[in-house]
Amino acid sequence: MTDNLSNFTSLPEKQLVELDSLCGWSLSLLELQEAQRQFSKMGRQPTRGELETIAQTWSEHCKHKTFSGPVAFRDGGKTKKYKNLFKETIVKATRTLNRKWCLSVFTDNAGIVEFGKSGKWGLAFKAETHNHPCAVEPYGGAETGVGGVIRDILGVGLGAKPVLNTDSFCFGYLDGKKKLPKNSHSPERIMRSVVEGVRDYGNRIGIPTASGGLYFDDGYLLNPLVYVGCAGLIPVDKIEKKVVPGDLIVSIGGRTGRDGIHGATFSSANIDEETTASAVQIGHAVNEKKTLDVLMRARDLGLYNAVTDCGAGGFSSAIGELGSETGAHVKLENALLKDTRIEPWEIWVSESQERMILAVPKAKMKKLEAILKAESCEYCVMGAFPGDGRLLVAHGDESVVDLPMSFLHGGVPNFEKQATRRKVKISSAAPARPASYGQVLKEMLAHPNVCSRHSVITQYDHEVQGGTVIKPLQGKYGDGPGDATVIWPQAATLDQHDFSGFAVSHGFNPAAGKIAPYQMALHSVDEAVRNLLCVGAEISRTAILDNFCAASPRDPEVMGDLVLAAEGCHDAAVGYGAPFISGKDSFYNQAKDADGKEYPIPMSLLISATAPVEDIRKAITMNFKEAGNPVYLAGTSRRGMGGSVYNDMAASGNNFISPLDIKAAVKLYSAILKAIKSGCVAAAHDASQGGLAVTLSEMAFSGGFGAEIDLTWAAREKGLSPLELLFGESPARLVLEVLKDKETEFLKLIKGLPVCEVGYVKEEPSLCVLDGGERLFWEDINALKNCWKRELI
């Protein structure tokens, strides 16, 4: 390898590719040749450290080359060209909406929106994925995923205080019988370890983990998806940060070791049998807690000018990012090490966890040191930001990196990706009628994508900090499935007289994405907004995050799915008035099984949403509250079983995805929010996975009440079959329990909208559903609950 490095600029293509593979850089030939060209221009050969720096700076993880690159999308005979897909869809929606309450979008480690009535606070929100590490070492991968996204919140502006963690996972079916390759873990093993990792990190650091989801599909058999998110509070006068020439580079928190070498470049590669643990980091929540405590104290005293986290790429990424304008002079021998058997370039790119980089004015270093010592937080001064725009990294007398920042951050070559619309045969034939709707409902409630998540949720501390107002498990017995979480962040604001809070929810539907990626994006945004509405959040102030996960972008159909989903995101965001404030993407989520069969994941888009709750004391939950209260169905039930859980259980012969009417949904939701704010609504629950029958069942058994339901007058599309009515998953529908003495006021508020009374809550513990004079099913709610309350792990 040494020979190849000393002849780098003259290496032929084959040897370049071999060198890349040997070093684990995951650079394309085009990128390697660009590096060759640049070093030829400089008239010298690169060092290992320089090539490592280039590999991580130009990695998919850091530069998002696929989503931010040019794309040619072929759809039939037409081709649409994008120069930058991300900017022309996701960012464009945010720019179009131009909401004043968006304080920082797409420029920092997380998005920030206004929070509360005082005007003093911003809410930072970010979601990340940690898929590849979790496929190799699920416990460590999940732990460090949580640690990483928390550091994003600590590193936004001058640092936000984390108040909520979120987690959404996708795994292969736990009871699958598929033969797995030698280097893979069973889905059950992955799930157990991922949950333990999220639990141990979140619980130990003292941040509630209180919002998320679980999804099963064999597309995730070899590539689990682990989405982790974090929300935090930041004073609005601490959002701006700027490195000043002369500032010291100070690393605080964990020590640097050989763990996590090549994590950033790992994101640009398919996982195969050769994948090793070197790309896996190990988390240490207690160290991160010390870092958090130091940052919050030092921030409020104004002891640093800028901060960012050491994520993928380690010092190389963090110092490179902070010094992108000023340049940086780094002395690696000053780094605190876990292990002395480490090469200088490894110190530079190591992704050891729990490290933050601060830009500290020399005059304030003493005060900062006092806080670091008081919190038992280790630190080292790594050098300075000089202002000459050059990255100089040395270890003693050895030069490790000497490159202009402009080359690192502006030199990455990108090429046009080919995208094409996936051909899917759509059938909208009337679905066959099952023998028993009641039996289907019971099987549906036990389906892994519908059943109770209590065995996961109860492992997390969702009460720490004392602000989790609407909890993930709700209802009379504390075990009903909530739509959204409501947080009262008084632990951060220290203001117990301001009852402002915020809600967080998710929307996710990869099953729809297999058929219609555009509609999947619309449905996901709709589901996230509807979930916020169900707790009474101010949905006109919804802010959303996009997290795309996909298989290899070298496949034009995968790119086609991405284009359509991104266009859907744009249209949904504009339609709902909900700007994207941050997001992330993860590609190359595909692997081969023992027989060489490829397992690409389906296009997976997680929409995370947040909206303010003006008064957390008025937030509502999903369970039926009182016998005698009328039950209403809001929204029109439409044809189509595409993407439904029912189709996963029994092929209905219909895979049509009901299109979403955003305008109608916005109008409906605005009226329902008014009704909730007026105190007319006792409970609200969305109809999503499993459909209306599942929604009614969950509201009933979570409240310990039965219900008599007659859907005869429910708003519906012409020709809708009872199966589609009960188990179809057409969007923009929710079930409401209205307070009997407020029904007249409620009816005034929803006048002219597709909101129909469909029955009433009753004491007797049974759920009876009729339609057009026919009884569709009658079931004991305790029997339904028994089916639903499965132990997943």
Partner 1 sequence: MIIEIWTKEKYAKNEERGFIGRLAHAGLKVKTARLSRLYRVDADFSRAEFDKLASKLLTDSITEHYSLTPGKNGLKNAYRVEVWLKDSVTDVVGESVKGAIADVLGKEPKTVRFGHAYYVPCGSELKLKHAVSKILVNEVVNKFSIKKH
Q: Which residues here bind partner 1, judged by CB under 8 A?
A: 136-140, 185-186, 188-189, 193, 257-259, 276-277, 280, 282-286, 338-339
Distance CA 67, CA 544 (A): 18
Closest distance of CB 271 from partner 1, Å: 12
Catalytic residue among 61, 64, 447, 570: 61
- Taking a C-beta distance cutoff of 8 angstroms, is the pair 480, 623 a contact? yes
Question: Is position 447 annotated as part of the catalytic site?
Answer: no
Which residues sit opposite 630 in a β-bridge? Answer: 760
Q: Which is nearer to partner 1, 186 or 540 (CB)?
A: 186
Residue type, position 296, single letter? M
- Taking a C-beta distance cutoff of 8 angstroms, is the pair 787, 706 a contact? no
With vertex at residue 345, the alpha carbon angle to CA 341 and CA 349, rounded to the nearest 5 degrees, is 105
Which residues sit opposite 612 in a β-bridge? Answer: 502
Q: How far is CA 620 from CA 231, 331, 470, 763, in A?
A: 21, 55, 8, 21
Closest distance of CB 402 from partner 1, Å: 31
Residue 524, number of CB atoms within 10 A of its CB:
29
With vertex at residue 549, the alpha carbon angle to CA 546 and CA 553, rounded to the nearest 5 degrees, is 120
Q: Which is nearer to partner 1, 200 or 757 (CB)?
A: 200
Q: Which is nearer to partner 1, 138 or 765 (CB)?
A: 138
Q: Which is nearer to partner 1, 285 or 611 (CB)?
A: 285
Sign, CA dihedral 385-391-394-399, equals: negative
Closest distance of CB 331 from partner 1, Å: 25
Question: Is position 61 annotated as part of the catalytic site?
Answer: yes
Closest distance of CB 284 from partner 1, Å: 5
Closest distance of CB 277 from partner 1, Å: 4
Q: Which is nearer to partner 1, 52 or 137 (CB)?
A: 137
- Taking a C-beta distance cutoff of 8 angstroms, is the pair 623, 707 a contact? no
Closest distance of CB 198 from partner 1, Å: 15
Catalytic residue among 130, 132, 329, 395: 130
Closest distance of CB 172 from partner 1, Å: 14
Q: Which is nearer to partner 1, 140 or 553 (CB)?
A: 140
Closest CA relative to residue 148, chosen from 317, 313, 312 = 312
Distance CA 630, CA 744 (A): 11
Distance CA 511, CA 645 (A): 9
Q: Which is nearer to partner 1, 87 or 258 (CB)?
A: 258
With vertex at residue 460, the alpha carbon angle to CA 457 and CA 466, rounded to the nearest 5 degrees, is 110
Contacts of 657 (CB under 8 A, 6+ apart): 512, 515, 516, 519, 520, 523, 640, 642, 643
Residue burial 526-541, b: 16+ Cβ < 10 Å; e: rest? bbbbbbbbbbbbbbeb
Catalytic residues, by residue number, are: 61, 130
